[in-house]
Chain A
């Protein structure tokens, strides 16, 4: 089980988005960045904050931190061509509603879902001829 398994995508209208949600998502940023860079050769360089506390959102500079949070979602989503059904990243964190909050975490789930399938499409040295299509040598 990874942090991806803890992501929440089934919020309904009226559910609040708070600092604990952000810490969970930020932890997913950490996990995905390490996985993508370490196993798949990406070069993500996210600015990640995993220590949000209740009062952070009312502080000076919170808007910039929230935008950084959103940009992380954009960067992770943009690193791989996504499935048609994968939501778009929110255009802004202002007035984030329950649906957009779900979208953020669904994006991260979908990225990991794709990452977990990519290795099955990898060809390996010794099993492939340059220019070859198909599967059997």
Chain B
């Protein structure tokens, strides 16, 4: 971006303006500057504060770039970055196809981990089953049925709230990557 580069400035900083009549005829010049005795000038809206050349260069932009050019480049970069959601829920004791567990997300899930202090489940991108481990046994389960969507992940187990990760009153923490 380019700062305005005046040439008609007085030594006291007053800058030249033209006074015109309604016909567009220049009547005279006046030199003015703020005299409002501010306690602070405020941040200058200029190249040094809005978009330095060195910053523009970080995005492959030239010295004529404006902040909007950078914003336009940032959006696809943000969209392409990995996303993560974390949280927890309390199990309700329900299970089965009619009462699945569900996580609603602001992105498309690709990988999820859900764990209580006794059960740990892994959900992998578009795989229709979850892999569950229990701390009380070396056995594992692949019974839970998983449904993936653009902005959610849901699953159920037909036989037990334990394998649906929904034991009543138990806290489950999750991490979802997208």
Contacts and interface: CB of A to CB of B under 8 A. Distances in A.
B5 A121 contact: yes
B44 A42 contact: no
B9 A135 contact: no
B56 to A, nearest CB: 8
Contact of A125 (B6, B15, B42, B57): B42
B15 A120 contact: yes
Contacts of A39: 48
Interface stretch (A54-62, A93-101, A111-119): A111-119
A40 B52 CA distance: 8
B42 A117 contact: no
B169 interface: no
Interface in A65-122: 79-81, 83, 114, 117-122
Nearest to A122: B44
Contact of A118 (B6, B49, B63): B6
A118 B45 contact: no
B68 interface: no
A41 B6 contact: no
By DSSP majority rule, is chain A's interface helix, strand, loop, or mixed? loop
A122 B32 contact: no
Interface string B30-68: 001110000001111111110111101100000100000
A43 B3 contact: no
A128 interface: yes
B17 interface: yes
Interface centre among A79, A83, A120, A126 (most CB of B within 10 A): A120
B57 A114 contact: no
Interface residues of B, number: 30
B81 interface: no
Nearest to A116: B9
Given A41-B46, A43-B57, A125-B45, A120 B6 contact: yes
Given A42-B63, A43-B57, A80-B5, A128 B45 contact: yes
Contact of A40 (B3, B7, B33, B41): B3
A12 interface: no
Interface string B1-27: 011111101000111010000000000
Nearest to B15: A120
Contacts of A119: 44
Nearest to B62: A43
Interface string B66-89: 000000000000000000000000
11 contacts: A40-B46, A40-B48, A43-B57, A117-B5, A120-B9, A120-B14, A121-B4, A121-B5, A121-B6, A128-B45, A135-B32
